[in-house]
Amino acid sequence: MFTQAVRRAAILAAIAVGASMAVVGSPIEAAAFDDAGECATLLLDAANQAGVSGSSTIVSDQGYESCSVRFDDGLKRTVLKAAMASLAGCPPWWANQEGVVATTFHGDDAWTRGPAGDKWSERSFVWCSFDDPEYQFSVETTVFDAATYGGAADPLPVAEQLWSLAQDRLPFGPAGADVPPTDSEMPPGSTPPGDTDSYPIAEGDYTTDRYGWMYFTTPDGKSCGMAANGGPVGCDAVAADAPPDVNQTYVAIWAPAEYRYSDTATFTADVDVLPVGQQLQIIGSSCAVTAFDTVRCETGGEHGFILSADSSVFW
């Protein structure tokens, strides 16, 4: 989805500055990441104290508003995440799915799920803490060869370490600080900060008989699509604060994103939902779903948009 020049996607329209990503070998220490902020350092320290193993780690840090770390150990994976609840959602988007158990964690709302297949096993533990601002935390453990390694590890010991450290370190900053400007305020030639390099490529049915196009729907029902070689890329949807008489969000390689009106649906097809935290790539264009109601799309010409239910950012 992203070339090296354009692989920048945010968790939502209100992502803080200072995104970074790095890969190092084990053992993992926060000091190994020159650009790791307080958020990622919290996750790294919690993982180390819990004894999480991994031969490599991917760290994504969007300031105090969101961060994630990923540990890979052969066919085993552990991922820790923290994000302001206004970005990530509390409860999580999958809270009502079959097999999810609602519970509590140190007096806070929490949810667990543990889908398993013939070849893989996954367990997730998510909880929400603090009031101003509220944060969502998650620990996910996955085994991609359950027959050999058994089921995924219990995420609760890692969650306990993360909860303990978070009591002393969070919140990192005042709610609303370092929020990127809106589309009307975005300086010419600038791009909202963010990073979805760690997002996996989605597996599903996202193509039709229309050559050179990919389509998807978002978890909240937006229909979006992208053409190869720089677009167009867009959604047959607009934010709540869009001007009247528009029904599309649109961007192409040669010009900044914009709202427009179309008599026909350009970006709608009968395809699968693109899950939160996953991305799609096509030559010169890219899209990632960064939250239940938010999608970020870019073209190879450094133009793109972030579209959520309430607002948008264009560049």
> What span, in angstroms and rounded, lies between the C-alpha atoms of 39 and 41?
5
pLDDT in tens, 43-63: 888 998 998 887 666 676 666
Tokens 């533990």 -> residue: 125
Structural contact between residues 135 and 170, judged by C-beta atoms closer than 8 angstroms: yes
User: Hey, where are the domains in the chain?
Assistant: 20-169, 213-314
- Residue 116 is predicted with a pLDDT of 58
CA distance 41 to 31: 8
Q: What is the pLDDT of residue 129?
A: 82
**Sign of the C-alpha dihedral computed for residues 83, 4, 271 and 214 taken in this order:** positive
> Which residue type is seen at 107?
G
* Confidence (pLDDT) at 295: 92
Query: For each successive 10 residues of the chain (315 residues), what is the average pLDDT?
Result: 29 28 39 63 89 74 71 85 74 79 91 73 86 83 79 90 88 47 41 60 92 92 90 92 91 87 93 91 89 86 84 85
Please tell me the distance from the alpha carbon of residue 76 to that of residue 52, in angstroms, as a whole number: 11
Measured CA to CA in angstroms, residue 197 lies from 6, 226, 257 at distances of 10, 19, 22
pLDDT score at 224: 96
CA 211 remoteness from chain centre: 28
- Asked whether the beta carbons of 183 and 261 are under 8 A apart, the reply is no
The answer to whether the CB of 251 falls within 8 A of the CB of 265 is: no
Q: Is 297 exposed, middle or buried (0-12, 13-18, 19+ CB in 10 A)?
A: buried
**Res 191: pLDDT:** 46
Query: Which residue type occupies 79?
Result: V
Judged by DSSP in three states, 315 sits in coil
